[in-house]
Chains A and B, each alone.
Chain A
Amino acid sequence: MIGALPVLILIFIFQSKTIFATTGIKSKSMSINKHSNILQNANRKTIRYFIKYLPLLIVSLLSILFYQNLSSQNNSQYGKLTPKNHQLSVLVGANQGFVKDANFSALNYSENGLLYALKYVKHKSNRKSFFQIDIDYSDSDLTTITSEHFTSLSTLANVEISYLRKLKQPKNEQLTFYLGGQYFFSLQILDWLNFEAFSFTAVNGIGLKGHVHYNINKKSMINSSLFIPLIQNLSRPPYNGIDEFILKNEDNSAAIIFAGEIATINKYLGFDWSVNYSYSLFNHFNIITSYTLRYKKLPKVNKMIHLQNQITVGLTYKF
């Protein structure tokens, strides 16, 4: 199951590499907007690429999970009920937010776009812990009140892997609390006119996650999570937005994304809060709706503030 994750990360990194490479960050050309027509193509390509590989990823995940499920059934006593410990959700929705990145622009931006997400949850059969993977991706327009000409693109990707253990059961048996840790990788690329202006924030670290689950009735439940990053590798453009390292590694986005420095809350503040509602349609399927609030702030040189509201709906397959 986890083996599928690097595939998606590699797909994304490869795609990021394509973006950097085809757009030419390091161009010192005097010709203005020389490749501006590539801008739209590059981002359409990003979406097409993701959508192209999304079904493949889902089919791969489902195949692995079905195989695991069949194996476990074969190994168990025939006829004994197997609890549905796995949940795989596919979600689509909207990403809306606000961005100010001093490295990118002195102006304030609004952010609006589509969001695609995958979620996998594996509960222990005794419900004392669960393992979760969340992946989301969005392409959004950044707009200013100043000029439509300054409309830019924000490409975002998050990969989160968490493991949480159940806390002491409260008197209310419908309510369950979990606490644990989460690894996360988050990448945002801001791009105006084919990298005539650009910025990025790549974060790769661990933090603390709390989760509360409430069974409303037999068919529906609601849960909420709060994640606070604690220590991470933070990669940002240098003081002047560009330097020899970026110029030299234009064709190697991974080198740029994973360079950086260790940052704790003195350099990187943030939280992700989400609330999910799930309703059981059939034995194997739930519909799910989710709201996530993400907040990031870099208070040091080249300050950055980013707030996102993400609303998604989707389908969960339980097995």
Chain B
Amino acid sequence: MSCKKIVLGEDEIDSPENNFELLWNDLDQHYSLFEVRNINWDSLYTVYKPRVSNQASSEPLWLIFTELLEHLDDSHTSINTENDETFFISGYAKNNQSKKEYSKNLITDSYLESRTEIETEDNLSYGKIKNKDIGYIYFGASDGSNPAIIDEILENLKTHKAIIFDIRQNTGGDDYYAARIAGAFADKEKVIYSAQTRNGPKHSDFDEKTFHSTKKEGPEQFLKPVILITDRRTISAGEVFSLHMKAFDHVVQIGDTTAGDFSAVSNRNFLPNGWSYKYSVQKLLLPNGKSLDGIGHSPDIYIKNNESDINTGTDKVLEKAFAYLFEEFGID
């Protein structure tokens, strides 16, 4: 027996059955949204475990795993094959489709006078809408080194009568970063949600609630009309950003319902067959105790592009925002 075995014990066996057991048990012990998403994880075991055979090649096992995880409908839950050659994200089909229903180039070329990219941040840019007294901000990822840059952006846009804040395809990042950006638009301080992390083997085991509030940030806040544009691929910290923004009286959401995936994500976890996976570890609740996980933010005005709109050079969602600002506030 090797020294390593003596010290650490036997390594995990690489068999389809053991890989299934490790995955199922890990989620059973740590996944946070079984109750919120009304998932009977035990019954899924009885459905999928009998399909696992130790003689099976990797393809059937991949199919079993992806079918099992799809029940969670949670894009924070994903699995990758060895070397990340293939990956599967639970409940991601609609999110993926929305990639074709948005075009950054179309907006730059057809709707903006100019676009300034903020190089220090992951996907943050701003500009002015052509022939209108409306500023435009695109916020595609809640990550970067300096969220306070939003104050400088607003310094450049504050003379406009309104701002369109486009968070379509915002695939998430850092909730605290998102909160700082939103703080530049805050008209009040208000508790908007609580976060709890699963901390025990029972599906109902969670730590104490941490309450999160809106907060005014920066030298001054932009309190003129703001249109928040969302789509199905506005996810995670992008949705937390929406939680902040929707708390403000001068913000209206236009677009598609967001993904409905709010939780923080676990470490990547490893299986003996070289695959890896991760999953949600928190639940976020609104002050009324309800969760938007699996539901998302419903827009005040629902509209979405389809692929042909983009191909013919039209962003219906953006144009709806223009029409709303004109009809409601006379802003043009």
Which A residues lie at the B interface, using CB under 8 A?
Answer: 24, 26-33, 98-100, 103-108, 110, 144-147, 149-150, 192-193, 196-199, 238-244, 247-248, 250, 305, 307
**CB atoms of A241 and B268 under 8 A apart:** no
Question: Is B184 located at the chain interface by the 8 A CB criterion?
Answer: no
**CB atoms of A30 and B171 under 8 A apart:** yes
Distance of A188 Cα from B263 Cα, bound (Å): 27
Question: Is B264 located at the chain interface by the 8 A CB criterion?
Answer: yes
Distance of A228 Cα from B198 Cα, bound (Å): 34
Query: Which 5 A-B residue pairs are closest in the complex by CB-CB distance?
Result: A147-B274, A197-B267, A243-B197, A30-B171, A244-B210
**CB atoms of B80 and A305 under 8 A apart:** no
**CB atoms of B7 and A27 under 8 A apart:** no
Question: Is B38 located at the chain interface by the 8 A CB criterion?
Answer: no
**CB atoms of A193 and B176 under 8 A apart:** no
Nearest CB of A to B295, in Å: 18
**Chain B residues near A30 (CB-CB < 8 A):** 75-76, 89, 171-172, 235-236
**CB atoms of B237 and A239 under 8 A apart:** no
Name B14's contact: one of A100, A146, A250 (CB within 8 Å).
A146
Distance of A198 Cα from B82 Cα, bound (Å): 19
State whether A239 and B199 are in contact (beta carbons under 8 Å apart), knowing that A32-B84, A146-B272 are contacts in the complex: yes
Known: A29-B142, A105-B270, A240-B281. 7 other contacts (CB 8 A): A28-B76, A107-B270, A107-B272, A144-B11, A239-B30, A241-B266, A305-B7
**CB atoms of B174 and A28 under 8 A apart:** yes
Distance of A105 Cα from B76 Cα, bound (Å): 19
Distance of A243 Cα from B89 Cα, bound (Å): 22
**CB atoms of B270 and A100 under 8 A apart:** no
Distance of A244 Cα from B269 Cα, bound (Å): 20
What are 28 of the A-B contact pairs (CB < 8 Å)?
A: A24-B143, A26-B174, A26-B264, A28-B172, A28-B265, A29-B141, A29-B171, A30-B76, A30-B89, A30-B171, A32-B87, A100-B8, A106-B271, A108-B4, A108-B12, A144-B270, A146-B274, A193-B268, A196-B267, A197-B270, A238-B197, A239-B198, A239-B199, A241-B281, A242-B266, A242-B267, A243-B199, A244-B197
Question: Is B117 located at the chain interface by the 8 A CB criterion?
Answer: no
Distance of A236 Cα from B195 Cα, bound (Å): 20
Question: Is B213 located at the chain interface by the 8 A CB criterion?
Answer: no
**CB atoms of A28 and B268 under 8 A apart:** no
Question: Is B63 located at the chain interface by the 8 A CB criterion?
Answer: no
Question: Is B219 located at the chain interface by the 8 A CB criterion?
Answer: no
Which B residues lie at the A interface, using CB under 8 A?
Answer: 3-4, 7-9, 11-12, 14, 22, 26, 30, 32, 75-76, 78, 80, 82-84, 87, 89, 141-143, 171-176, 195, 197-200, 207, 210, 235-237, 263-274, 276, 278, 281-282
**CB atoms of B7 and A150 under 8 A apart:** no
**CB atoms of A28 and B237 under 8 A apart:** yes
Distance of A197 Cα from B142 Cα, bound (Å): 20
**CB atoms of A240 and B274 under 8 A apart:** no
**CB atoms of B9 and A100 under 8 A apart:** yes
State whether A147 and B264 are in contact (beta carbons under 8 Å apart), knowing that A27-B173, A240-B198 are contacts in the complex: no
**CB atoms of B197 and A242 under 8 A apart:** yes
State whether A192 and B198 are in contact (beta carbons under 8 Å apart), knowing that A28-B76, A28-B175 are contacts in the complex: no
**Chain B residues near A32 (CB-CB < 8 A):** 78, 80, 84, 87
**CB atoms of A28 and B270 under 8 A apart:** no
**Chain B residues near A244 (CB-CB < 8 A):** 195, 197, 207, 210, 282
Name B267's contact: one of A100, A147, A198, A307 (CB within 8 Å).
A198
State whether A240 and B30 are in contact (beta carbons under 8 Å apart), knowing that A27-B173, A28-B175 are contacts in the complex: yes
Distance of A287 Cα from B8 Cα, bound (Å): 35
Distance of A146 Cα from B83 Cα, bound (Å): 12
**CB atoms of A108 and B281 under 8 A apart:** no
Distance of A242 Cα from B172 Cα, bound (Å): 17
State whether A248 and B172 are in contact (beta carbons under 8 Å apart), knowing that A106-B269, A110-B4, A242-B281 are contacts in the complex: no
**CB atoms of A305 and B174 under 8 A apart:** no
**Chain A residues near B143 (CB-CB < 8 A):** 24, 27, 29
**Chain A residues near B8 (CB-CB < 8 A):** 98-100, 108, 305
**CB atoms of B4 and A149 under 8 A apart:** no
**Chain A residues near B278 (CB-CB < 8 A):** 196
Nearest CB of A to B30, in Å: 5
**Chain B residues near A238 (CB-CB < 8 A):** 197, 199, 207
Distance of A108 Cα from B195 Cα, bound (Å): 33
Nearest CB of B to A305, in Å: 6
